[in-house]
Structure 1
Amino acid sequence: MAGAPDRLLRRLEWRLGRRLDGRLQGSYRTVWHGAGLDFTDLRAYTPEDDVRHIDWNVTARLDEPFVRQYTEDREMTAWLVVDRSASMRAGKESSAASLAISIARLISQGGNRVGAILFDNRSHRVVPPRAGRDQVLRIARDLTSGFVPKKSNKTTDLAAMLKLAATTTSQRRSLVFVMSDFIGDPGWDRPLAQLNHRHEVVVIRVVDPAELDLPDLGLILVEDAETGEQLLVDTSDPLLRARLTEQVGAHEEELGAGMRKAGVDAHRITTDQDMLATLVDMVRRSGRRRR
């Protein structure tokens, strides 16, 4: 009898095939760029060249700028970087897992390779990139394994997650999906920019709607998912609601500024959305940006 990850993958394959019918073309192409680049040769720099391709070691030796030439590899490598910290529980983790598995299945078509990095402050798990349906199943099993992060007095070290992604994916240019609620320590914008400099990065921010607009539930006990700290609050208090709305707005502006600084367009999804509809929308928007 097929296990839960296999049943989930079969259901997603059927729904994904119907929703994305006709949107993928060619045996190896995908809706995102993400092709690998292999070094082939050096030549003298011209003003039209991308300065990021300058080989500074050779330039220093010859006292003349030289650039590296690359050939595009038809086989693409993609990575799923999934935040599995405590704040991702209560719906966000399952939404991220469903979307990650759908993306893995989409990317794996045509022989492309996909790997995964599952991160928590206390531990992380790396699934090396491989092609094929069995690889998607392995990622699905890891994502649905019921891993429960332990609470601590520390918030998520998002910079450490992104640095781990950079070192793990350093061997070749890849397509990197970063899935997180971005609740954690500040200072993540610089490592995200460095990751984006090397790879094509797609940020998917997973949000609980209650984090954006606190429902009026009267007196409730709220808990910080990261630290476990609890506080009794009156959600019907207009002053409290006004303060929270102001804080949410400031946080959204701060996140937007960090994404712009890193040179990344973030997709914000909420846990009450249809994850496959969200993926279809991402495909459509990606296609429009390159036309």
Structure 2
Amino acid sequence: MTLAIETFHYRLAHPGYCAIPGAHPGQMVGSGQLFKRHESLLASPDPRRLDLRASLLDPFNHYRVKVFQQHSKIDVLVIADLSASMSIPGGATKLQIAADFLLSCAQSAFESGDNFGFIGCGHGIEKKWLFPKGLRMGRVQELARDLSRVRSGQGGNGLFQVEPYLPLRRSLVFLLSDFHFDLNRLSRLAGLFGRHAVVPLVLWDPAEYADLPEWGIVKFQDSENRRTRTLLMRPGLKRKIIEAYEQRRDRLRHGLRSKGAEPVFIEGRYEASALTNYFLQRVV
């Protein structure tokens, strides 16, 4: 993990539902700068917002005041896949990159005044990785250190059991995984994508495909069942492996887009500017 914490800016397409003021457009009226509608002085007794022109035009001769859309805070959660494939050593383990993102996301949320939480998904949902909301930066730093040190192989079924642990109201959810599972299982996450604004972060290590040697003996190991296979690497085989990854990229992008989520592929290292650009190009 880097010492300097990079932050990014995010925004939502739909207004927040929290009554507590924050940095995002909300559904409630109150203090704000975005005009929402006129109401009678009796319904909204604040003479400072009296609109004389609207009052003169009112057919019932009622005093009319302006009401504004109040900005609200939202819940921001990071869901991290802790399966065995995420801890494969490479240029940097995927969980090391996930730890970097965890710090960046937490700092970004705190600067916006939002709630922040984290859920780690291994074989199931373990209590030590369950922090649905209310984390503080000191605890996030401890959590990031623990996350970067995970080395034991685990199953990834917890990813498909996470929905009951999420907030009921719409939240911003970052889903971190290498998605090295049967993509038909994405249908089991339908409730997650349907209720929340989900940003899938796909963590791929170039050492797994793009950085393979042109020639040489290479030993591959299945991270889940620990089976190994030794192959004579050659240009034609390397090209097939790269093509297989590109085909999976297309399938993954198509599957996530069908659920209304545009994935962000992170390969090599995490850069906060990539997330800022993502939200500048679209809202979730």
Q: What TM-score, normalized to structure 1?
A: 0.68
Instruction: Write the distance in 2 (CA, Å) between the matches of 1:85 and 1:203.
Output: 16
Tell me, yes or no, if the aligned pair for 1:37 and 1:73 is still in contact at 8 Å: no
1:208 aligns with 2:205: yes
Instruction: Write the distance in 2 (CA, Å) between the matches of 1:88 and 1:96.
Output: 9
Instruction: Write the distance in 2 (CA, Å) between the matches of 1:35 and 1:94.
Output: 33
1:136 aligns with 2:140: yes
Residues 241-261 of structure 1, C-alpha deviations (whole Å, 9 max, x = no match): 343234223322221221122
Q: Corresponding residue for 2:113?
A: 111
Amino acid at match of 2:216: G
What is the CA distance between 1:83 and its match in structure 2?
1.0
Q: Corresponding residue for 1:100?
A: 102
What is the CA distance between 1:163 and its match in structure 2?
3.8
Instruction: Write the distance in 2 (CA, Å) between the matches of 1:216 and 1:168.
Output: 46
Mean Cα displacement is larger for which, 253-262 or 174-183?
A: 253-262
Amino acid at match of 2:17: L
Q: What TM-score, normalized to structure 2?
A: 0.70
**1:121-132 → structure 2 map (5 Å cutoff):** 121=123, 124=126, 125-130=129-134, 132=136
1:259 aligns with 2:256: yes
Amino acid at match of 1:107: A
Q: Corresponding residue for 1:12?
A: 4
Which residues of structure 2 form unaligned runs of 5+?
20-26, 29-68
Q: Number of matched residues?
A: 228
Superposition CA RMSD, Å: 2.9
Instruction: Write the distance in 1 (CA, Å) between the matches of 2:15 and 2:166.
Output: 14
- The match for 2:152 among 131, 140, 149 is 149
SS in 1 for 2:202: strand
What is the CA distance between 1:79 and its match in structure 2?
0.6
Which residues of structure 1 form unaligned runs of 5+?
1-7, 21-29, 42-70
What is the CA distance between 1:72 and its match in structure 2?
7.1
Residues 7-48 of structure 1, C-alpha deviations (whole Å, 9 max, x = no match): x68x233xx26xx6xxxxxxxxx522286415999xxxxxxx
Tell me, yes or no, if the aligned pair for 1:112 and 1:131 is still in contact at 8 Å: no
Moved over 6 A (4+): none
SS in 1 for 2:247: helix
Tell me, yes or no, if the aligned pair for 1:85 and 1:120 is still in contact at 8 Å: yes
Q: Corresponding residue for 2:245?
A: 248
Instruction: Write the distance in 2 (CA, Å) between the matches of 1:282 and 1:84.
Output: 22
